[in-house]
Amino acid sequence: MQHNVIRSKLPPQCTFWRFLTSLPVTVAQQLLKLQRFLRERVWEAANVHLPSITLDTDTTVHTLYGQQMGARKSYNPKNKGRKSYQPILTFIAETREYIGGELRNGDRPTGAQIARHLEAVFAAVPRCVCKIFARADAGFYCWEAVAAYEKVKASFIIVARKTPRLLEELKKADWRPSPKTDADEQCEFRYQPEGWAKAYRFIALRYQKKDETPKEQYQLWETPEYIYRVFVTDMKDAIDLLVWVYNQRAGAENLIKEANNGAPG
């Protein structure tokens, strides 16, 4: 007697996207609560008890081909002139889990949108976590992001965006040799950007301009004489240690690329 074996398999990814986009907006909060509940159950079953976690957040570019709603011609270094979305995505570095994000239009996110994203992420953090560390690229360099981190007492390091005022601070800073990093010199200073409630610690690396830029793919500023890497942080550790901590974000960037590539185009 011959039996037909029906092998079940997961539907293609686009099926999940169509299902999620068909849901009303009011379901979003319910899904986030369910996601947090399931994550806690999985952590408990796997005996994962993390007292602290590191959240890696990025604003990335998802190039579009067609006439999708919300597409914009904005920052798109690899496909200049192409319309895109700019998803915001956050991952837990220690477990490589996606914890929150949104597929949004191609405009640079506003401070209010960034704060809303971070608040949703914090709400999804398992209750066993007592301390949050956060790393973010220059797309999150704004007072609203810093205020959101401080509201939950998260320690943060964010890449600073180039402004004329900040560049002046760099020029007059006390630069010293940086033997423990790949830079020529390093410095730190207190600085209050326009619109921020108070001054924060800024740390910076400086590279003498040569034929070759630093080998790693950093977010760099250029002037006629130097190339800079600049961060704002509330942490008190040594400059070389904080730069090393931020550099570990490279693993999360790969996850962000994978998630971005999986978004519907």
> Three-state SS for 219?
coil
pLDDT digits (tens, 9 = 90+) for 183-207: 999 999 999 999 999 999 999 999 9
Does 10 fall in a domain? no
Which pLDDT score is estimated for 202? 98
Torsion over CA of 75, 260, 141 and 216, rounded to 10 degrees?
Answer: -90
Q: Say if residue 68 is in the same domain as residue 174.
A: no
**In this structure, are residues 88 and 122 in contact, taking their beta carbons and an 8 Å threshold?**
no
- What pLDDT band is residue 230 in, cutting at 50, 70 and 90? very high
Q: What's the domain range around 189?
A: 160-234
Q: What is the 3-state secondary structure (H, E, C) of 6-74?
A: CCCCCCCHHHHHHHHHHCCCCHHHHHHHHHHHHHHHHHHHCCCCCCEEEEEEEECCEECCCCCCCCEEC
Does 17 fall in a domain? no
Q: Say if residue 178 is in the same domain as residue 211.
A: yes
CA distances from 199 to 55, 79, 127 (A): 23, 37, 31
**In this structure, are residues 139 and 118 in contact, taking their beta carbons and an 8 Å threshold?**
no
Go through 159-177 and write b for each residue having 16 or more CB atoms within 10 A of its CB, e for each that does not: bbbbeeebeebbeebebee
Q: Which CATH number fits the domain that encloses residue 115?
A: 3.30.420
Q: Say if residue 169 is in the same domain as residue 200.
A: yes
- What pLDDT band is residue 72 in, cutting at 50, 70 and 90? very low
Whole-prediction pTM = 0.78
- 5 vs 145, more confident: 145
Q: Say if residue 43 is in the same domain as residue 146.
A: yes
Residue type, 20: L
Q: Say if residue 142 is in the same domain as residue 208.
A: no
Strands 83-85 and 62-63, how do they pair?
antiparallel
Does 179 fall in a domain? yes
Average pLDDT of every residue of the chain: 80
Q: Which residues pair with 159 in a beta bridge?
A: 231
Q: Say if residue 165 is in the same domain as residue 265.
A: no
The tokens describing 215, both together, are: 């080998």
Q: What is the DSSP letter of 243?
A: H
CA–CA separation, 250 and 236 (whole Å): 22
Q: Say if residue 35 is in the same domain as residue 115.
A: yes
Which pLDDT score is estimated for 88? 81
Does 94 fall in a domain? yes
Does 211 fall in a domain? yes
As a whole number, mean pLDDT of residues 49-65 equals 77
Which range is most confident: 37-46, 177-186, 256-265?
A: 177-186
Torsion over CA of 29, 35, 51 and 87, rounded to 10 degrees?
Answer: -70
Q: Which of 6, 5, 17 lies closest to 263 in space, CA to CA?
A: 17
**In this structure, are residues 227 and 213 in contact, taking their beta carbons and an 8 Å threshold?**
yes
Q: Say if residue 89 is in the same domain as residue 200.
A: no
With a cut of 50, say whether residue 167 has pLDDT above it. yes
Does 12 fall in a domain? no
Which pLDDT score is estimated for 205? 96
Q: Say if residue 58 is in the same domain as residue 102.
A: yes
Q: Say if residue 246 is in the same domain as residue 116.
A: yes
Q: Say if residue 265 is in the same domain as residue 136.
A: yes
Q: Say if residue 174 is in the same domain as residue 122.
A: no
Does 224 fall in a domain? yes
Find the range with the poorest average confidence among 13-17, 140-144, 227-231, 253-257: 253-257
**In this structure, are residues 62 and 262 in contact, taking their beta carbons and an 8 Å threshold?**
no
Which pLDDT score is estimated for 151? 96
Does 1 fall in a domain? no
Backbone angles phi, psi at 204, to 5 degrees: -145, 150
- What pLDDT band is residue 64 in, cutting at 50, 70 and 90? very low
As a whole number, mean pLDDT of residues 64-70 equals 47
With a cut of 60, say whether residue 77 has pLDDT above it. no
Query: What total of structural domains would you count in the chain?
Result: 2
Which range is most confident: 21-25, 115-119, 199-203?
A: 199-203
CA–CA separation, 257 and 265 (whole Å): 14
